[in-house]
Amino acid sequence: MKRSQINALIDDAIRMLHEHQVRLPPFAYWEPDEWNRKRAECDEIRRCKLGWDITDFGSGDFDHIGLVVFTARNGHHEIAAYTGKPYAEKILLVRENQRTPMHCHARKTEDIICRSGGNLLIKVNNRAPDGTLAGSDVEVSLDGERYRVGAGHTFRLSPGASITLTPQLLHEFWAEKGTGTAIVGEVSSVNDDESDNLFFSKVGRFPRIVEDVPSTHKLCTEY
């Protein structure tokens, strides 16, 4: 991805969130020069990878395979100072027909909540022991109501609705065409994008960046 594209996506995300009365923590707005003045007082932000996370999953086609993420809270599985925070919170901006590739998590349980904007479509499959798609029915909870559906079922989450995704439950999601960008919340156990993601197909989790212009915001991998 080009740096100019990443800059524009973050600016657009801030604008959209503000239009929906969503405000972010102060560090969401810090420019690189301000970041460079920060020292140990911001170690939690750096070590727990809070902040902006923009990815095209190595596709080179962000409009169709990509995601804008802001991580507002997170603990850590191993760093003692942060193991007492066993939860994480993210905001996701999902465009119409823009897919997050099918994946699951080895340890993380998460609630995906369609907060505002467009409808979120989410497809679910059980993961077989060999990593393939299992053909078995899927049992899943939507806002505390239990459902049993066939393999590959797609749920439609309108604003306010949520789904609970447990470890090893494969899922992919995108915003429904004609409904606009979905503003999505994620509330979960500790997030670890380094080792906890199990993608069904090979993808690049973090983008290779072409530095065509200076950055206006640091990504969570750039502190």
Q: What is the pLDDT of residues 170-216, one digit of tens each?
A: 999 999 999 999 999 999 999 999 999 999 999 999 999 999 999 99
Question: CB-side exposure of 115: number of CA atoms within 13 Å?
Answer: 17
Q: Report the predicted TM-score, pTM, of the whole model to 2 decimal places.
A: 0.97
Cα first-last separation, the chain: 18
Here the CATH number for the domain that contains residue 7 is 2.60.120.10
Query: Is 220 a domain residue?
Result: no
Q: How far apart, in whole angstroms, are the C-alpha atoms of residue 24 and residue 51?
A: 10
Query: Is 217 a domain residue?
Result: no
State which amino acid sits at residue 148: R
Give 27's pLDDT tier (boundaries 50, 70, 90): very high
**Which pLDDT tens digit goes with each residue over 117-176?**
999 999 999 999 999 999 999 999 999 999 999 999 999 999 999 999 999 999 999 999
Query: Is 181 a domain residue?
Result: yes
Give percent helix, percent strand, percent coil of the chain, each to the nearest 5: 15, 40, 45
Furthest-apart CA pair in the chain: how many Å? 53
Query: Is 211 a domain residue?
Result: no
Question: What are the DSSP calls for 104-167, one per residue?
Answer: EESS--EEEEEEEESPEEEEEEEBPTTSSB--S-EEEEETTEEEEE-TTEEEEE-TT-EEEE-T
Query: Is 212 a domain residue?
Result: no
| Beta strand 87-94 pairing with 182-189 | antiparallel
Query: Is 195 a domain residue?
Result: yes
Query: Is 18 a domain residue?
Result: yes
Q: For residue 68, what are the domain limits?
A: 3-199
Quote the number of domains for the chain.
1
- Nearest of 67, 160, 175, 166 to residue 120 by alpha carbon: 175
